[in-house]
Chains A and B, each alone.
Chain A
Amino acid sequence: MNIARPLKMSAALLATAMLGACATKAPPYDYTAYNKAKPVTLLVMPPVNESPDVKGTPGVWAHATLPLAEAGYYVLPVTLVDEMLKQNGVQTANDAAELPTTKLREVFGADAAVYIRVKRYGTSYKIIDSETRVEVEGRLVDLKTGEVLWKGSAFASSAEQQQQNQGGPLGLLVAAVVKQIIGTATDASFNFAGIANRRLLTPQYNGVLPGPRSPNYGKDLQKP
């Protein structure tokens, strides 16, 4: 019994665990209603913002069109949807979320609506580092029946890509402060909202299904 053996074993275990993390999947989503509804045009509702940053709604809303359009759907122009809602006295995302689906169908003529909740949006200061993080939850709702066709969640964080900093504890603190200032000034959250939205709204295992304009329309992404 030498010392290398347990080491080797733990390495093997780690490798198995990593592969396991790679291969383990959540139980498959039930797409029965989604496949039956076959939505073509999507109305993205103003995201309901649960974060303290008021830019959560416009930041996430502006990034929702790209992944859904690339998924193969026609996405109603969000800026015109915003105008239309405001002109009709619907001033907030919370008010918009209360509108009956039949009314939305009548006004916008879309097949389904995408409701997004912004769970986190912004940069938080921590002793060693600051983190910019955006978390979103999404729901696709059939505007004819009011039925939920799909739901999911995703996040994106600056902590994912940070490398080890140098310069000792003081250097770290300075870097964190500088980063926070830059982070808020250039609207770092907006960029992370883009990543979070792509993760949420791109067709994948248990994700939204490819739409009619996608070359993958009708393909089953649940199979490996």
Chain B
Amino acid sequence: MSRRFLSRLGSLAAVTLLCTACAANRGPAPLYMWDTFPTQQYRALLREGASPEEQLQALQVHAEKAKAANAALPPGFRAHLGMLHLNLGNAAEARNQWEAEKAAFPESAPFMDSLLKKLTATEKTLKSEKPA
């Protein structure tokens, strides 16, 4: 009886092992350091909760962490950072970040260029609207 029990236990263990091997088929090492980036995007999409200053600070901490670990920042990180700068009135820094996004991911150029073009147009109208 006990031998039968043991053999059954053994086959159960084998099945478990096989299924674990099946499930443990993991992909390659991560390409980017994500930190709290999905949560930061969520906050911005919700448009409630954290202020732009708080969001900006969280991203800056993330960027420093990535730099220290020599890890790549995810696609869209710099673009998102630029948007926060713009929301806080810093158009020059927004432009820098969108250019940086383009440099890091050349395939982002069509979208970044259209954002940059729009920013330039907005600044021009603002300038021309200023009283002489």
Q: Mark contacts of A1-17 with chain B using CB atoms, 8 A cut-off: 1 yes-contact digit, 0 otherwise.
A: 00010001001100100
A79 and B27 form a contact (CB under 8 A): no
CB distance from A204 to the nearest CB of B (A): 8
Of the candidate stretches A103-111, A132-140, A164-172, the one touching chain B is A103-111
A63 and B38 form a contact (CB under 8 A): yes
CB distance from A209 to the nearest CB of B (A): 13
- Collect the chain B residues with CB atoms within 8 Å of residue A55's CB: 46
A61 and B45 form a contact (CB under 8 A): yes
A62 and B28 form a contact (CB under 8 A): no
Of the candidate stretches A66-74, A94-102, A116-124, A152-160, the one touching chain B is A66-74
- Collect the chain B residues with CB atoms within 8 Å of residue A65's CB: 37-38, 41, 74-76
Give the residues from 90 to 111 in chain B that come closer than 8 angstroms, CB to CB, to chain A.
101, 105, 107-111
- Collect the chain A residues with CB atoms within 8 Å of residue B32's CB: 69-70
- Collect the chain A residues with CB atoms within 8 Å of residue B114's CB: 107, 109
Task: Report how far A64 CA is from B15 CA in the complex, Å.
Answer: 34
Closest B residue by C-beta to A41: B107
Q: Mark contacts of B99-132 with chain A using CB atoms, 8 A cut-off: 1 yes-contact digit, 0 otherwise.
A: 0010001011111001100000000000000000
CB distance from A38 to the nearest CB of B (A): 12
Task: Report how far A224 CA is from B44 CA in the complex, Å.
Answer: 41
A214 and B42 form a contact (CB under 8 A): no
- Collect the chain A residues with CB atoms within 8 Å of residue B11's CB: 11-12, 15
Asked if A78 is at the interface (CB within 8 A of a chain B CB), the reply is yes
- Collect the chain A residues with CB atoms within 8 Å of residue B108's CB: 41, 74, 76
B34 and A79 form a contact (CB under 8 A): no
B15 and A18 form a contact (CB under 8 A): yes
B27 and A70 form a contact (CB under 8 A): yes
**Given A18-B15, A214-B28, A80–B83 Cβ distance below 8 Å?**
yes
Interface of A is mostly: helix
CB distance from B108 to the nearest CB of A (A): 6
B110 and A108 form a contact (CB under 8 A): yes
Residue of B22, B30, B41 most packed against chain A (CB within 10 A): B41
Closest A residue by C-beta to B31: A70
Partner of B76, one of A72, A78, A213: A78
- Collect the chain B residues with CB atoms within 8 Å of residue A107's CB: 114
Partner of B38, one of A23, A66, A76: A66
- Collect the chain A residues with CB atoms within 8 Å of residue B28's CB: 214-216
B30 and A80 form a contact (CB under 8 A): no
Task: Report how far A77 CA is from B59 CA in the complex, Å.
Answer: 14
B44 and A109 form a contact (CB under 8 A): no
Asked if A127 is at the interface (CB within 8 A of a chain B CB), the reply is no
**Given A78-B76, A79-B80, A80-B79, A108–B31 Cβ distance below 8 Å?**
no
**Given A69-B32, A70-B32, A75–B75 Cβ distance below 8 Å?**
yes
Residues of B within 8 A of A (CB): 1, 4, 8, 11-12, 15, 18-19, 22, 27-28, 30-32, 34, 37-39, 41-42, 44-46, 74-77, 79-80, 83, 101, 105, 107-111, 114-115
A sample of 13 cross-chain residue pairs with beta-carbon separation below 8 angstroms, ordered by A number, consists of A11-B11, A41-B108, A69-B31, A69-B75, A70-B32, A73-B75, A74-B107, A75-B75, A77-B80, A82-B45, A110-B111, A190-B39, A214-B31
